Amino acid sequence: WNLGFKQTVALGSDYPYAEWFGNRNFFVYVRGDFNFKNWLKAFKEGKTYVSTGPVIDFTVEGQLPGSEITLKAPGKLKVKLRARINPTLDTLKKIELVSMGKTIAEAIPESKKEETDCTLEYELQVNQSLWIAGKALGKKTAGHTTAIYITVAGKPFWNLDGLDKRITYMEGKLSELENLINDGTIPADQGKYLLGYINKARKVYKDMRARE
């Protein structure tokens, strides 16, 4: 998200040591009839959250995760985050709103009821394009939503703070892959295809630097 790419959160589970199959899940917000067609449509739109326990409801001006809200000028938006959890599984420690990689607001349960059902309502001042997501933390469980993307005057929602450093890091990872191709660790028949994707990625990062 900080690099300006829309990413849908989703996960699955296998069976490593000391883990239960299915102990990590992702959920899709489906409005209207609950059927596979609508589920798949909502998933493709990024209306998801991942969780090991908490059930999360998150909206900005009524829009679900994965949505893009377009503003012509800076303004204020209403944000609502709610997390619930089965008390036989865990209790909530806090819920957070995360934007551009930083926590901008949080709510800590102040009663037994809020330990299993906690809500945070927040007025977000939007001065520039950004992303925002919801997060829930239990004592031994956690959940995180896909971001909602807010653009102002057509500007990208990437995080300019430290952007060059992040691009340099990713370019370094591309160089590591190139080295694995060159030294034969990655078979040549696979490497030639991978190299095409590496070159495409380098062009994307080059264009990002030019737009910074």
Q: What tens digit of pLDDT does each residue of 136-167 get? A: 999 999 999 999 999 999 999 988 888 899 99
Burial 25-60 (b: 16+ CB within 10 A, else e): ebbbbbeeeeeeeeeeebbebbbbbbbbbbebbbbb
- Distance from CA of residue 15 to its chain's centroid? 25
Domain ranges of the chain: 25-152, 163-211
pLDDT per position in the chain (212 positions), as tens? 998 899 999 987 666 655 555 567 899 999 999 999 999 999 999 999 999 999 999 999 999 999 999 999 999 999 999 999 999 999 999 999 999 999 999 999 999 999 999 999 999 999 999 999 999 999 999 999 999 999 999 999 988 888 899 999 999 999 999 999 999 999 999 999 999 999 999 999 999 888 76
CA 103 to CA 66: how far, in whole Å? 19
- What is the pLDDT, as a whole number, of residue 15? 62
* Domain 25-152 listed as CATH 2.60.40.10: yes
CA 71 to CA 175: how far, in whole Å? 38
- What is the pLDDT, as a whole number, of residue 46? 97
SS3 118: strand
